[in-house]
Structure 1
Amino acid sequence: MPTIRAPASRQTATLQVAVKCRPLTDNERRRSRHIIQVIDDKNVAVLDPDISKGYLDLIQNRTKEKRYSFDHVYAPGCSNT
């Protein structure tokens, strides 16, 4: 059975990750589904989309959000150029 060996040279590569938050659709705007918040040019917060649980969490100051960091974050209003 052949063995697998690592390459002789140790090359490194740098990977950058960017995310672009798209604008809301008309349907999403009507339903007030603003679950993505661009915090700055490197961070995004994703809110819990389950609105039925939202009121209790809000009055108890317990928001269910996850924060993610990227090398670059582009807001919905930025152009593709």
Structure 2
Amino acid sequence: LNNVTSDILRVLKINFPQVIDLRHIRSSVITNCEKQEGVIEAMYKAGHRYISSTTRYQTGEYEELQDELKAKHPLETMNI
């Protein structure tokens, strides 16, 4: 089983260099599911018993803060 997952990860890293490890993929899938279908559905699909386990994957607040930061950053206003 370890060889199979290693082979899958190797092929993924060749095709998608931004993939770090298999946990990274799981995290991305849970985050996308939470955004599209809601926390409860993501919790069931991820196999989490408690909602707090799923809410760790929420990134909405951080994305909004990044957008605000980008809009107000001095280098962004100078178009550099």
Which structure has the highest strand share of the two?
1
| TM over 0.5, shorter chain | no
